[in-house]
Amino acid sequence: MASIWVGPRGTIKDYPGFSPSVDAEAIRKAIRGLGTDEKTLINILTERSNAQRQLIAKQYQAAYEQELKDDLKGDLSGHFEHVMVALVTAPALFDAKQLKKSMKGTGTDEDALIEILTTRSSRQMKEISQAYYTVYKKSLGDDISSETSGDFRKALLTLADGRRDESLKVDEHLAKKDAQILYNAGENKWGTDEDKFTEVLCLRSFPQLKLTFDEYRNISQKDIEDSIKGELSGHFEDLLLAIVHCARNTPAFLAERLHQALKGAGTDEFTLNRIMVSRSEIDLLDIRHEFKKHYGYSLYSAIQSDTSGDYRTVLLKICGEDD
The per-residue pLDDT for range 101-136, each reduced to its tens digit, is 999 877 789 999 999 999 999 999 999 999 999 999
pLDDT attached to residue 132 = 98
In this structure, which CATH number among 3.10.180.10, 1.10.287.3510, 1.10.220.10, 2.40.37.10 belongs to the domain 20-88?
1.10.220.10
Q: Is the predicted pLDDT of residue 1 greater than 60, yes or no?
A: no
pTM score above 0.85: yes
Tell me the one-letter amino acid at 47. Answer: E
Confidence of residue 50 (pLDDT cuts 50, 70, 90): very high
User: For the chain, what percentages of helix, strand and coil (3-state, to nearest 5) are there?
Assistant: 70, 0, 30
Asked whether this chain's domains 91-161 and 172-248 adopt the same fold, the reply is: yes
pLDDT > 90 in the chain, percent: 91
91-161: CATH topology is Annexin V; domain 1 (1.10.220)
Instruction: Give the pLDDT confidence of 283-292 residue by residue, as tens digits.
Output: 999 999 999 9
pLDDT attached to residue 2 = 62
pLDDT attached to residue 319 = 98
Domain boundaries, the chain: 20-88, 91-161, 172-248
Q: Count of CB atoms within 10 A of residue 77's CB?
A: 9
| Burial (CB count within 10 angstroms: exposed 0-12, middle 13-18, buried 19+), residue 170 | middle
Please give the CATH superfamily to which domain 172-248 belongs.
Annexin (1.10.220.10)
Instruction: Give the pLDDT confidence of 212-232 residue by residue, as tens digits.
Output: 999 999 999 999 999 999 999
| Burial (CB count within 10 angstroms: exposed 0-12, middle 13-18, buried 19+), residue 248 | middle
